[in-house]
Amino acid sequence: MIKRIVKMSFQPEKVEDFKTIFKENWQRIAGFEGCSHVELLQDQLHPNVFFTYSIWDKESSLEKYRESDLFNSVWSRTKILFNDKPQAWTVNQLQF
C-alpha cells in the first residue's frame, strides 16, 4: 500500500473553480481501480493551498491512474488555476 500527498496552491480567485472540479470528480477518482481512499484538505492559514491525500494498493495502480483519461481531464482543468508549482510525495506508512 502507498499513500500519495499532493500540495497545490491556487490563484485566490480560482479556489472555488478548483473545489468544483474536485467535487465533480472525487468519487470517480476514489472508484479508480487500486484506489481505496481520496480526500481533500485545505490549509487553515492559507485558504488557497490544498492537499490531496490518497491511498493506493500499489505504485502501478497510481501510475495507471496518472496515465488515464480521467486524470488527464481533471489535471488539464486544474493546472491552469495554479499560482505555484504543485508538489507531490509518494510515501509508505511505517509500522512500529
pLDDT in tens, 21-30: 999 999 999 9
Overall size of the chain counted in residues: 96
**b vs e for 54-89, b when ≥16 Cβ sit within 10 Å of the residue's Cβ?**
bbbeeeebbebbeeeeebeebeeebeebeeeeeeee
pTM: 0.92
Domains within the chain, CATH numbers bracketed: 2-91 (3.30.70.100)
Place of cell 500540495: 7
pLDDT in tens, 80-89: 999 999 999 9
Helical H segments across 15-93, by residue range = 15-30, 59-66, 69-78
pLDDT in tens, 30-48: 999 999 999 999 999 999 9
Confidence of residue 8 (pLDDT cuts 50, 70, 90): very high
- For 10, 67, 69, the CA distances from 85, given in Å and listed in that order, are 9, 20, 22
- For 6, 24, 45, the CA distances from 28, given in Å and listed in that order, are 18, 8, 29
